[in-house]
Amino acid sequence: MYATHLDLPQIASPGVMALLQARLCDALDLAARIKQAYWSMRDSSSFERRELFEACLEEIDECIDSLARRIAALLGVTEGCVHAQALKGSLGRYPLQASCGEQYETAVRMVLARFGRAVRADIEQAAEFGDADTVDVLSGVSRKVETQLWAAEARLV
């Protein structure tokens, strides 16, 4: 355990740490899925989709850093390796058999929505734990994910 001047009761809360770690694993998995889609597209609309995926990935990377920093602030150890993602990720399987940009874009939209639902549930749980700072971090993540989902869905119009 590290010495700290933080006087937060939730530092020792395994519940807060577990939900933050679960979302970190999911956010890392989400980023990997976006990269998979980016790398795999080969149809005529791939340039526009790649721009969408790049913008989304930038935002998700910021979410990853926010979650990891909050874990560190609470004196936890971040579990950001691929092995941790495989064990703790909750986003389901990625459709590796997708064959066109539209299918990759649909897969990204679906996983963004799934991740967003999990983050919103965690906001409520963090509030029950009485951890306002974690609620704030998760709310920021939720806003970024909702914005990226909106951008991806706006392409459908």
Residue 157 pLDDT more than 50? Answer: no
CA-based nearest residue to 33, from 51, 56, 66: 56
pTM value is: 0.84
Domain over 10-154 is classified CATH 1.20.1260.10: yes
Q: Domain limits of the chain? A: 10-154
Read off the pLDDT of residues 80-136 as tens digits, 9 standing for 90 and up: 777 666 666 666 666 666 666 678 888 889 999 999 999 999 999 999 998 999 999
Q: Find out whether 134 and 10 touch, Cβ atoms under 8 Å.
A: yes
